[in-house]
Amino acid sequence: MSNKRFKDAVCRTWLKKETKNKAEKDGKTYYFCSPACKEKFEKDMEKYLKLAG
């Protein structure tokens, strides 16, 4: 079993597994806890990518 975790780039929640709520940018996949977080990310990717560091 994988211990890999993913951090939601919008609300910063740690996710225990990949979710269907995802987006790609520059070859990297970002996972989200909800469709609402995914939508916020897609509307302002640059803002959330800066926050994610």
Domain residue extents for the chain: 6-43
Residue 51: pLDDT band by 50, 70, 90 thresholds? confident
Task: Retrieve residue 28's tokens.
Answer: 């990297």
What is the pTM (predicted TM-score) of this model?
0.84
pLDDT digits (tens, 9 = 90+) for 10-41: 999 999 999 999 999 999 999 999 999 999 99
Q: According to the model, what pLDDT value does residue 4 have?
A: 85
Q: According to the model, what pLDDT value does residue 1 have?
A: 47
Contact 31, 19 (CB under 8 A): yes
Burial of 53 (0-12, 13-18, 19+ CB in 10 A): exposed
